[in-house]
Amino acid sequence: MTTASRGTGATSPGHGGGGPTPGRAAIAARTLRTDRWWLQPLLTVLALVAFVVYSSFRAFQNAYYFSEPYISPFYSPCLTTACEGDTFPKLFTGPDWISPAIYILVFPLGIRLTCYYYRKAYYRSFWLSPPACAVAEPHRRYTGETRFPLIGQNVHRYFLYAALVINAILFYDAVLAFRDETGEWGHMGLGTAILLVNAVLLFLYSLSCHSCRHIVGGRLNSFSRHPVRYRFWTVVSRLNARHMQYAWASLASVALADLYVFLLATGTISDLRFF
């Protein structure tokens, strides 16, 4: 047995000991996978495009977002004096031609656009980088998130802070939804349940965020010296394992909550009262 063929030091025929090894095997096919690997990226594209189209239409529509005592999460917190309803204090007078939703959606859009999970989802589905495991991507080089505009993904944690504030306001809206049209407490309808479930799912999505996990327990050399932070870290870590599920569930719930308020505001349906 020669030295070149022993153990991990083996080299291919034609190369001396310590010489360079040949390149990867040349495979002309884009992939050798025979399953429907393209289905998941395709479904991701369809789902995200559908949400973007719907949310953009509703944001620029600037109407049918309030039906006492419910307000669409797309328009909450409604900060301008042009807002319908009285679910949140109006803080400034905005131009009538600017939809109040424009001021708000930038923050939920920011956290989802920079979210670690959504990055993987739309990098693979829209940019095909890579489209799936064991499938070659069409790009010649990979620069990661080191250049503009992707270097802006580093602001993710700041969008998280803003999203947590909005999460608290959505819970405030859900509490107000226990009133009836006259302002009397003790009412509960299907809209109340929808707003409450939506607030919970959005809160779980925010808490399960990778940045939230790092904020709670990151940069600690010894968990035993920080038992409270360690407990929070373990809870957030459990939620983090289901971050993908919370991401899609909350995306669906926020669209459903807005659609329900829209249908009520247009008189298409009536709210189902429980008590």
Give this prediction's pTM.
Answer: 0.82
pLDDT digits (tens, 9 = 90+) for 36-62: 988 999 999 999 999 999 999 999 999
Give the pLDDT confidence score for residue 14 in this predicted structure.
47
21 domain-assigned = no
Number of independent structural domains in the chain:
1
Structure confidence by residue, pLDDT tens digits, 237-248: 999 999 999 999
> DSSP per residue over 133-173, as a string?
TT---S-S---TTSSTTGGGGGGHHHHHHHHHHHHHHHHHH
Residues facing 189 on adjacent strands: 273
Counting residues of the chain whose pLDDT is more than 90, the rounded percentage is: 49
Report yes or no on 1 lying in a domain.
no
How many helices (H) and strands (E) would you count in the chain?
8, 2
Q: Does 186 have pLDDT greater than 60?
A: yes
Structure tokens at 205: 């999505």
- Is 275 among the domain residues? no
Residue-level pLDDT at 92: 82
Mean pLDDT, residues 187-209 taken together: 96
Half-sphere exposure of 142 (CA within 13 A, CB side): 9
Write out the residue range of the structural domain in which residue 42 sits: 34-265
Task: Specify if 11 maps to a domain.
Answer: no
Give domain status of residue 24, yes or no.
no
Residue 88 within a domain:
yes
Distances (CA, A) of 136 to 23, 36, 38, 51: 16, 15, 12, 28
Q: Does residue 124 fall inside a structural domain?
A: yes
Where does 69-126 show beta strands of DSSP type E?
70-71
